[in-house]
């Protein structure tokens, strides 16, 4: 049983959580998307994608099509109840996979729509002079875990250039990342894997660290993904067997991170 697996930890912490923090800082280091902006986006997502069951919870983020430009302020400048052009750009980046400077995907999947309620703390710092939880975690991983030779305390999150440095993560990923798809021995022993994942999981920095995009990729390369049920909430993405609707998506290894 694998619950909300953060199984590609050396990439999740750095290329996903770390890059999100970088994306949310302007040239002066100021935080771009704040709690107020997250609330605007979250409300708009629910209004757009609540689904069949009108309960304030997005029925299925995978089918939700939401463009953050829908909540852009007409002037392009920040105002109550809408987003500045810079905020819209960051939210678009967050929903997308992190990418290198040539547009190649660095990590499979961005923040899922419906996760906005979890952004504050995880991806948005309540103290803009400090990193978000995810950003702070990423910085510590980069200092002491991510590379074969630790750069140490003098290294900051903003020293990390994902386009240049992603390929340096592969060595330690072989130590930390539990991501083999070879389950033959397990299967021969009679094992049956089960995997669940909250579809609104923003990839927190705590023990709940996870990435639903990554889990869906993993399932799609090893088994099948069950069709999303209707009429319930808090549903998992689960591998249930041959009757599931197959989803295919190349996700491993990240193009720029392969060692």
Provide the binding-site residues for Ca ion, judged by CB under 5 A.
50-51, 53, 55, 57, 59
Closer by beta carbon to Ca ion, 58 or else 106: 58
CA–CA separation, 14 and 230 (whole Å): 35
CB nearer to Ca ion: pick between 53 and 175: 53
Give the start-end residues of each E strand in the chain: 2-3, 195-196
Please report how close the Cβ of residue 53 comes to Ca ion at its closest, in angstroms.
Answer: 4
**244 in Cβ contact with 226 (< 8 Å):** yes
What interhelical angle do 35-49 and 85-95 show, nearest 10?
60
Kindly tell me which of 112 and 254 has the beta carbon lying closer to Ca ion.
Answer: 112
Q: Rank residues 32 and 237 by Cβ distance to Ca ion and give the closer one.
A: 237
Q: How far is the CB of 234 from Ca ion (least distance, A)?
A: 11
**Shortest Å distance, C-beta 59 to Ca ion:** 4
Give the C-alpha separation, 212 to 219, whole Å: 10
What is the rounded CA–CA span in Å between residue 197 and residue 209? 11
As measured in angstroms, the least distance from the Cβ of 199 to Ca ion is 12
Short-list 105, 95, 99, 110, CA closest to 48: 95
Closest approach, Cβ 117 to Ca ion, in A, equals: 14
Taking the least distance from each CB to Ca ion, the nearer of 49 and 195 is 49
Q: What is the spatial distance between Cα 209 and Cα 134, in angstroms, rounded to a whole number?
A: 9
DSSP assignment of 33-74 equals: S-HHHHHHHHHHHHHHH--SS-SSS-S-GGG----GGGGB-T
Q: Which of left, alpha, beta for 231 (phi over 0: left; psi -120 to 50: alpha)?
A: left
In angstroms, what is the minimal distance from the CB of 67 to Ca ion? 19
Q: Which is nearer to Ca ion, 15 or 49 (CB)?
A: 49
Look up residue 175 and give its two tokens.
């130590």
């Amino acid at each position: 049983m694998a619950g909300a697996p953060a199984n590609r930890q050396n990439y999740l912490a750095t290329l996903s959580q770390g890059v999100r923090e970088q994306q949310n800082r302007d040239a002066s280091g100021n935080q771009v998307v704040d709690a107020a902006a997250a609330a605007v986006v979250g409300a708009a997502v629910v209004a757009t994608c609540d689904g069949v069951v009108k309960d304030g919870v997005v029925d299925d983020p995978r089918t939700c099509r939401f463009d953050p430009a829908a909540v852009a302020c007409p002037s392009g400048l920040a105002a109550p109840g809408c987003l500045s052009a810079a905020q819209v750009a960051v939210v678009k980046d967050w929903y997308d996979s992190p990418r290198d400077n040539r547009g190649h995907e660095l990590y499979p999947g961005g923040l899922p729509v419906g996760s906005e309620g979890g952004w504050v703390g995880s991806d948005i710092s309540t103290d803009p002079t400090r990193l978000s939880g995810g950003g702070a975690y990423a910085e510590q991983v980069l200092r002491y875990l991510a590379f074969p030779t630790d750069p140490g305390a003098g290294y900051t999150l903003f020293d990390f250039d994902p386009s240049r440095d992603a390929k340096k993560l592969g060595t330690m990923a072989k130590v930390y990342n539990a991501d083999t798809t070879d389950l033959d021995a397990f299967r021969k022993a009679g094992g049956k894997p089960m995997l669940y994942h909250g579809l609104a999981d923003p990839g927190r920095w705590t023990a709940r660290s996870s990435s639903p995009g990554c889990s869906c990729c993993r399932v799609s390369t090893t088994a099948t993904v069950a069709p999303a049920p209707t009429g319930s909430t808090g549903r998992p993405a689960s591998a249930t067997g041959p009757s599931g609707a197959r989803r295919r998506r190349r996700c491993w290894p990240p193009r720029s991170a392969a060692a």
